[in-house]
Amino acid sequence: MEIPQSTGHVIAAEAVFSDVSMKIHRRVDSWDYAGGRRIVDALTSFARKNRDALGEHSFGFQLTQRTGGTAPLSATDIITANRNGSVLIHLDRDLNILKTTSLNCSKDDPADEVVLSEASADAIIAHYEGKSVLRFYANGFTSGRINLDDPASKVGRLARNRFDADQYELAIRDHYREAVKYFQETDHWHDRPKRTLRSGLGRCKTTEDIFHQSLVRWLERNLDGDVRSKPRHTSSDEPDIHITSFRGKLYLVEVKWLGKNDRKTTHRQGWLEKAVRQLAEYLKKQPTVWRATIVAYDGRDKPSFETLISADDNLDDGCKTLAQCGPETIHARGSCLVLFLESKTASEA
């Protein structure tokens, strides 16, 4: 597929915040943003022309600035390649297909924001989310979304609320109310009467993953900022979720859980105290982090939850923010939210 040359140039002050290719360049130095704009424009044009054929499905593309693709991209190729499960279609600079690689997702559980964001480590990924949105990830960060109904306008707000990056804790509490408290979306209970959590669900291989992936998806949809999920296989001490505001402030979120799961793993208050201590040590070494938050989803019984002392009595029922956890004091640039998991539905409670 031949892409016409672009003669326009970037106005720097605007480009940093509005030009997708410039945002990609900020995350991946090797990406040439001028040539990249042609690729982004061409893929946008392709998605608009083929969205009736592609429908409301999710597809991923890895963008490169190489040459050597063997066949031009087509809607038929995309649908065929994803027939048995989600794949990444690698494209050259003219949108010719270089190869495909599996994302290890079944056709019944296609790749979503979390999978494709993690796949963009040291890479550029375009995510066709459906007929209305084309999203771009670069090195783990969202680097822009394009409104396929009208590429010149901003993507409409996809959710009921929208929060600035520095309001991420409000977004976390909103996620708790709307998706987690009564297991509305997370489906985290293995045995509700016994308050036993699942040890995994679908692509989520651990109890923590169930809450982590749901929260990342929520923040992606509801937060005005770059949201990056740390790859789950890494063993570093850095927190799970990185949030970068458009002004460059970095916020971190560490996801934990308390209670027991169906593999007989038990996390008590000492587990949370250890997390608070580790976060304080991490923040001492990382002065550029603006704020970091531990989010602990509490599957213990209600009396155990009530022993925790909240520093703010005005939070919603089931939410506590701690200034102290046992012998551990929350770091000045840290916070700790503990969110109680109801085992009855909202109508039963």
Sequence ranges of the domains in the chain: 12-147, 163-340
Q: What fold characterizes domain 12-147?
A: YojJ-like (1 (3.40.1700)
User: How many separate helices (H) and strands (E) can be counted in the chain?
Assistant: 9, 20
Q: What is the pLDDT of residue 14?
A: 36
Residue in 89, 211, 219 with CA at minimum distance from that of residue 142:
219
Q: What is the pLDDT of residue 148?
A: 85
SS3 253: strand
**Could you read off the pLDDT tens digit of each residue along the chain, which spans 349 residues?**
444 444 333 333 333 335 889 888 888 889 998 999 999 999 999 999 998 899 888 899 999 999 999 899 999 999 999 988 899 999 999 999 999 999 988 877 788 877 888 888 889 999 998 888 898 988 887 888 888 887 776 554 444 456 888 999 999 999 999 999 999 999 999 999 999 999 999 888 999 999 999 999 899 888 888 888 865 544 556 678 999 887 889 999 999 999 999 999 999 999 999 999 999 999 999 999 999 999 999 999 999 999 999 998 888 889 999 999 999 999 999 999 999 999 988 767 6
The structure tokens listed for 304 are 């155990």
What is the full DSSP assignment across 307-349? TSPPS-TTSPTTEEEESEETTEEPPTTEEEEEEE--SS-TTT-
Query: How far is Cα 298 from Cα 30, in angstroms, rounded to an integer?
Result: 44
